[in-house]
Amino acid sequence: MARLLYFAWLKTHTGTAEEEVTLPGEVTTVGELLAWLPSRGPGYARALEDPKLIRVAVNQEYARPGDPVGPGDEIALFPPVTGG
């Protein structure tokens, strides 16, 4: 199981802030995760509609599409940050 977190408007679309998910075998990288998530439902498809607006952190570190993901990871998806 991986722990997925959604922030800001991604959370509005997915309808959940946090969930435990069993990643399918073909999902071993951030890029593969982003390609797979929309198949989970229309809310996910909507949230991930524009890949340019999605940032990913794996275990609280910014991650690139080729970075690995797996069971036990905390994977956060969010839009570009707007603090300060």
Partner 1 sequence: MSVRVQREPFDLGAELAALTEGNHAIGGLASFVGLVRDFSEDTQLSAMTLEHYPGMTEKMLERIEAEANQRWQLDASLIVHRYGRMEPGEGIVLVACASAHRQAALEACQFLIDWLKTKAPFWKVEEDDAGAGRWVDARESDDAAAARWGRADPDAAE
What residues make contact with partner 1 under the rule CB under 8 A? Answer: 5, 7-9, 55, 57, 60-64, 67, 76, 78-84
Between 37 and 63, name the residue whose CB sits nearer to partner 1: 63
What is the maximum alpha-carbon separation in the chain? 39
On whether the CB atoms of residues 43 and 37 are closer than 8 A, the answer is no
Judge contact between 54 and 34, C-beta under 8 A: yes
**Minimum Å distance from CB 55 to partner 1?**
7
> Taking the complex as a whole, how short is the minimal distance between the CB of residue 30 and partner 1, in angstroms?
10
> Do 33 and 75 touch, CB atoms closer than 8 A?
yes
* Residue 34: CB minimum distance to partner 1, A: 14
